[in-house]
């Protein structure tokens, strides 16, 4: 696609090595290749990943075997060397193979045999201290994944094998790599490792396993994809990269729950301009004043009006203010506050300005300044009206403060900049019944968005101070939602619910 530019291809399933040369442009494509094929792994990618397929493991058993080989379909020379080790060192070395006396089926896959003795796989992996990982005949094998899941220290004997994410993961701390020419000496090499070092490698193996168990005890495709994206991000922005200690020191990074899925660096985004989204119902006069003022902002790229009134048509095209940027009116199917945070296709910029149809006190230069602040903090909410929520120790409950103070914990989305990705999260990933509560009560969508962004990024809001106190004396005083007597009560109740949901997130 697109001549192979800007594509990351994942091959996560076991299988025979296909001929990639007829399908891929090796100068442009990046292939996330999990296993042994030298030509593919070394010419098309330098981010080899792991196979996420892994069987169910039982609780750990005592380590009865010092060295174990359980791979099937090995090259005859490898198997001869392993069997020679077993003959020399007795029961401390166990070499298993496919069971020829069992019928084909699912159960036979979970069995390995030595002569006429049958072993349960993968439980037998949990009974060994070291487990051999050899070059296989297939492009993708779950050998390393299975070994790590069992808590067995992998002994990699494959000169061309690039271990998963070796760019950031220090595999010397969790594995033993032996050259193929030294295979006959592997037992003595392992015997020379001090017990304390073996215990540390076992601890590192557990850390690797827990890093990939997201949330199941297996190498998860989501975890592999997120780790790959994190490595790419670290290459592009090395000054903001995850440190060696974060990648390698237990408890290891949980890539399946990366705090910020945007992977946004602390530099201005390349794309210029923002899309202003105005949610409106029936206040046409103030809406037009807002449109006129916002259209003066130099960085405005497009203005999107979300018409939330199903009982009345929007004004005719000829009546709308004439502005220099495209103006699009979107009619909604239902009157919901959450419509302001829908990921509309018309939003083509990274930056979004959510602004109410009665915010007529902000000037174009104040809005431009807010956008420039957002470009420095593109993963935060940047807004004008601030609010505070705090724990009231005397009343043993959360307090919501709407008056202007010197402390701020939220910014209202009646006038706020944010990244458009949060529209997707709000619409499709909001946990629990928060969005339904907001739509049912026609309130608190701004609190919900504040909690969402805080939970995803772990970062606070940025408040931009306008020249004037944020009041709207000219706004219509008969139809505003905030003038309802139950408005503040509902916001207080909603705050309690959001805090509970926050703890569950």
pLDDT tens-digit readout, 213-266:
433 334 567 777 888 888 888 888 887 788 888 888 755 444 434 445 555 555
pLDDT at 107: 56
Place of tokens 């004439």: 322
Q: Does 37 have pLDDT greater than 50?
A: no
Q: What's the CA gap between 348 and 222, in Å, rounded? A: 27
Using a 10 angstrom Cβ sphere, with 0-12 exposed, 13-18 middle and 19 or more buried, the burial of residue 191 is: exposed
What distances in angstroms separate CA 279 from CA 200, 338, 340, 393, 413, one per listed residue? 58, 10, 6, 37, 11
CA 464 to chain centre: 29
Three-state secondary structure of 150-168: CCCEEEEECCCCCCCCCCC
Place of tokens 């990639």: 20
Look at residues 41, 45, 79 and name the one whose alpha carbon lies nearest to residue 161. 41
pLDDT at 462: 93
Asked whether the whole model's pTM tops 0.85, one would answer: no
Residue 128 forms beta bridges with which residues? Answer: 65
Which uninterrupted H or E stretch holds 276?
A: strand 274-280
Contact predicate 179/160, CB 8 Å? no
pLDDT at 477: 42
Contact predicate 351/274, CB 8 Å? yes
Residue 47 is given by DSSP the state -
According to DSSP H, which parts of 276-418 are helical?
A: 284-294, 364-376
pLDDT at 59: 45
Residue 482: CB atoms within 10 Å: 14
CATH number of the structural domain 274-504: 3.90.550.10
- Residue ranges per domain, the chain? 1-258, 274-504
Confidence of residue 49 (pLDDT cuts 50, 70, 90): low
Look at residues 166, 178, 163, 87 and name the one whose alpha carbon lies nearest to residue 130. 178
Using a 10 angstrom Cβ sphere, with 0-12 exposed, 13-18 middle and 19 or more buried, the burial of residue 316 is: exposed
Beta-carbon contacts of residue 479 (< 8 Å; ≥ 6 apart): 281, 282, 283
What distances in angstroms separate CA 89 from CA 40, 185, 203, one per listed residue? 37, 12, 26
Q: Locate 171 and state its tokens.
A: 């595999």
Place of tokens 């029936």: 282
Contact predicate 329/357, CB 8 Å? no
Q: What's the CA gap between 100 and 392, in Å, rounded? A: 71
Confidence of residue 22 (pLDDT cuts 50, 70, 90): very low
Q: Locate 115 and state its tokens.
A: 């002569």
Which uninterrupted H or E stretch holds 208?
A: helix 195-212
What are 269-279's pLDDT values in tens digits? Answer: 667 899 999 99
Q: What's the CA gap between 487 and 444, in Å, rounded? A: 9
Which parts of 2-74 are beta strand (E)?
8-10, 30-32, 65-69
Q: Locate 419 and state its tokens.
A: 């990244």
Using a 10 angstrom Cβ sphere, with 0-12 exposed, 13-18 middle and 19 or more buried, the burial of residue 59 is: exposed
224 versus 195: the higher-pLDDT residue is 195
Q: What's the CA gap between 384 and 386, in Å, rounded? A: 6
What are 319-356's pLDDT values in tens digits? Answer: 999 999 999 999 999 999 999 999 999 999 999 999 99
* Averaged pLDDT, 157-172: 86
Q: What's the CA gap between 309 and 255, in Å, rounded? A: 43
193 versus 74: the higher-pLDDT residue is 193
What are 369-379's pLDDT values in tens digits? Answer: 999 999 988 88
Q: Locate 167 and state its tokens.
A: 């760019």
Taking CB atoms within 8 Å and a gap of at least 24, the contacts of 342-348 are 342/306, 342/423, 342/427, 343/420, 343/423, 343/424, 343/427, 344/277, 344/304, 344/423, 346/275, 346/302, 346/304, 347/275, 347/277, 347/302, 347/304, 347/420, 347/423, 348/275, 348/301, 348/302
Q: What is the mean pLDDT of the chain?
A: 78
């Amino acid at each position: 696609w697109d001549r192979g530019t800007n594509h990351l291809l994942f091959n996560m399933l076991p299988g025979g090595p296909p001929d990639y040369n007829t399908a891929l442009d090796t100068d442009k494509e990046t292939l996330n290749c999990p296993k042994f094929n030298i030509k593919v792994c070394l010419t098309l990618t330098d981010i080899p990943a792991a196979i996420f397929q892994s069987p169910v493991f039982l609780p750990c058993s005592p380590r009865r075997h010092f060295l174990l080989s359980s791979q099937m379909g090995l090259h005859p020379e490898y198997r001869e060397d392993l069997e020679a080790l077993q003959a020399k060192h007795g029961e401390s070395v166990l070499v298993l193979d496919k069971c020829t006396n069992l019928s084909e089926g699912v159960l036979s896959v979970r069995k390995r045999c030595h002569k006429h003795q049958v072993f349960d796989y993968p439980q037998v992996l949990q009974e060994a201290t070291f487990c051999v990982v050899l070059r296989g005949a297939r492009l993708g094998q779950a050998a390393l994944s299975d070994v790590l899941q069992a808590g067995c220290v992998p002994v990699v004997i494959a000169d061309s094998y690039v271990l998963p994410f070796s760019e950031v993961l220090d595999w010397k701390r969790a594995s033993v790599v032996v050259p193929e020419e030294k295979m006959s000496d592997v037992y003595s090499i392992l015997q020379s490792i001090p017990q304390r070092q073996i215990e540390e490698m076992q601890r590192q193996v557990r850390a690797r396993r827990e890093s990939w168990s997201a949330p199941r005890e297996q190498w998860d495709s989501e975890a592999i994809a997120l780790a790959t994206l994190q490595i790419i991000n670290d290459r592009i922005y090395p000054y903001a990269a995850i440190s060696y200690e974060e990648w390698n020191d237990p408890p290891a990074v949980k890539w399946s729950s990366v705090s910020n899925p945007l992977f946004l660096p602390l530099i201005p985004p390349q794309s210029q301009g923002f899309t202003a989204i105005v949610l409106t119902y029936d206040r046409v006069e103030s809406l037009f004043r807002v449109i006129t003022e916002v259209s003066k902002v130099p960085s405005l790229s497009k203005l999107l009006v979300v018409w939330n009134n199903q009982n009345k048509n929007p004004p005719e095209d000829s009546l709308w203010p004439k502005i220099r940027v495209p103006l699009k009116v979107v009619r909604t199917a239902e009157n919901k506050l959450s419509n302001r945070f829908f990921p509309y296709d018309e939003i083509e910029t990274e930056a979004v300005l959510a602004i109410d149809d009665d915010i007529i006190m902000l000037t174009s230069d104040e809005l431009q300044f807010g956008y420039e602040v957002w470009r420095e903090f593109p993963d935060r909410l940047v807004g004008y009206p601030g609010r505070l929520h705090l724990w009231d120790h005397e009343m043993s409950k959360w307090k919501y403060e709407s008056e202007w103070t010197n402390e701020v914990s939220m910014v209202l989305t009646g006038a706020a900049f944010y990244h458009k990705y949060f529209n997707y999260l709000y619409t499709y990933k909001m946990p629990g019944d928060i969005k339904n509560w907001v739509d049912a009560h026609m309130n608190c969508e701004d609190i919900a968005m504040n909690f969402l962004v805080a939970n995803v990024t772990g970062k606070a809001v940025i408040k931009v101070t306008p020249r004037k106190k944020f009041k709207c004396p000219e706004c219509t005083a008969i139809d505003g939602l905030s003038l309802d007597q139950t408005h503040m009560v509902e916001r207080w109740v909603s705050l309690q619910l959001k805090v509970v949901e926050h703890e569950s997130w």
